[in-house]
Chain A
């Protein structure tokens, strides 16, 4: 399985957003797309999901043009939990959309709750959850769809530093279990280094890939905290980012 984004170009209104973005994700890889705010990272996901059409370039999956949405499970930048659905029904949303009756969808979701730290909260409403729990519910909603590719748009951006680290560690453990191919959009360098197999660094708008970093370190990484290599890589990426801004 390989997903390729090839020389994607897009202008939104008067704004030149994407200036030829090329990247690749192979089976089971964790890919980060790292770039400053407003670079066009969320826009890239909108192209993948087909809610926007690129003006140039193409997206292929195993060499075929991508069509339909059943390839991706998407987590939007904010958790987008529905206030009028209980936690369990929010997580089961994708299954219901696929046509599963509510009862069956709940039965599929229920056994997963403990692993997402939501045991005993299935009957709660989203507004009764903490920020970290909401994010875990949104992730559960994404993973339960059982799609070959995850698209995560700054999933931990709104959390405090401690909760964020905890969630990253937890996500790493979940993905160790499933090894599902993942594209993560983030502006957090440390997060990208900690979680990724490969990092695509985007320039400020109009976005293009400035540099690609491989992160060869063994997993799990979050248990031990960042090693020396990781810190060195983080410094290198930060320097590249800052140089890009000075131009």
Chain B
């Protein structure tokens, strides 16, 4: 890729993002004007300019806490992905497992995070472990379903063809079922990674030494909505960055979609 190509790609990306950027700017502008004209107090609703200024001042603390949240998100998600993958493969080879385990996981998805998070913190302390568990609890099942459904979506003619060539169950999985699951896997990945951030912040909110969740809790208790909002913006940026990373991973893992 030469410079001209990169510039063109960047320009195209910018043109596609332009409408969204315009609406974001308009919302922020309306918010700023409203705070200015209504004279509402900064402890109730701070203007975006104030949020930005205070956030910038607190940037060192924000960055440190964001890093803690990122660590919790990624470790939890990694554990969740590894478990989902191993179990999805097991289910693909032993269909009985699906009927044995899916009801349990469905129930796990009905547990309200608000109630579970404090309990998990109570049992496992303020360290990384309870965050990993909560992020995994939220993201494991969607990833498992994406993978299992993806394996199931394998084209029947491709299956027949491989069998006619003498492929056994292992080759069938490796050469057909796994690649067939990729689109499902990445669809699940894009959604789950955003849930993972929310779950990590929730876990920190329930009790932590560091992290955006506990930062938000402290800022709220100190009547600093400007810092709460600054942390919210940081967490949004974090989520968007992870989402973009997932999109890029798909781009590289499925080169045939690009051609």
Contacts and interface: CB of A to CB of B under 8 A. Distances in A.
A156 interface: no
A30 interface: no
A124 B157 CA distance: 21
Contacts, number: 60
Contact of A80 (B157, B175, B179, B259): B157
Contacts of B182: 84
Contact of A76 (B157, B175, B179): B157
B171 interface: yes
Contact of B166 (A70, A77, A83, A128): A70
Given A83-B256, A125-B259, A97 B162 contact: yes
A68 B167 CA distance: 11
Given A125-B256, A125-B259, A127-B256, A80 B161 contact: yes
Nearest to B168: A97
B163 interface: yes
Contacts of A49: 160, 163-164
Smallest CB-CB A-B distances: 9 pairs: A74-B164, A80-B157, A76-B157, A97-B165, A125-B256, A84-B179, A94-B165, A80-B161, A97-B167
10 contacts: A49-B160, A51-B163, A73-B164, A74-B161, A74-B165, A76-B161, A82-B175, A84-B179, A84-B254, A97-B166
B158 interface: yes
B164 A84 contact: no
Main secondary structure of the interface of A (DSSP, over half): loop
Contacts of A97: 162, 165-167, 171, 175
A108 interface: no
Chain B CB within 10 A, most for which of A46, A70, A76, A124: A76
A76 B176 CA distance: 15
B152 interface: no
A101 B221 CA distance: 64
Contacts of A77: 157
Interface residues of A, number: 27
Interface residues of B, number: 19
A93 interface: yes
Contacts of B160: 46, 49, 51, 74, 76, 80
Interface in B195-241: none
Interface of A: 46, 49, 51, 68-70, 72-74, 76-78, 80, 82-84, 93-94, 96-98, 124-125, 127-128, 145, 151
B164 A80 contact: no
A145 B166 CA distance: 11
Given A78-B157, A97-B175, 10 more contacts: A49-B160, A49-B164, A72-B164, A73-B164, A74-B164, A76-B157, A97-B171, A125-B259, A127-B259, A151-B164
Interface of B: 155, 157-158, 160-167, 171, 175-176, 179, 182, 254, 256, 259
Chain A CB within 10 A, most for which of B155, B166, B179, B182: B166
Contacts of A74: 160-161, 164-165
Contacts of A145: 165
Given A49-B163, A97-B166, A98-B166, A84 B256 contact: yes
Contacts of B155: 80
Contacts of A51: 160, 163-164
A104 to B, nearest CB: 16
Contacts of B163: 49, 51, 69
Contacts of A82: 158, 175-176, 179
A51 B161 CA distance: 11
Contacts of B256: 83-84, 125, 127
Contact of A98 (B161, B165, B175, B254): B165
A83 B179 CA distance: 9
Chain B CB within 10 A, most for which of A51, A72, A82, A125: A82
Chain B CB within 10 A, most for which of A68, A80, A98, A145: A80
A128 B176 CA distance: 20
Nearest to B155: A80
Contact of A93 (B157, B165, B254, B259): B165
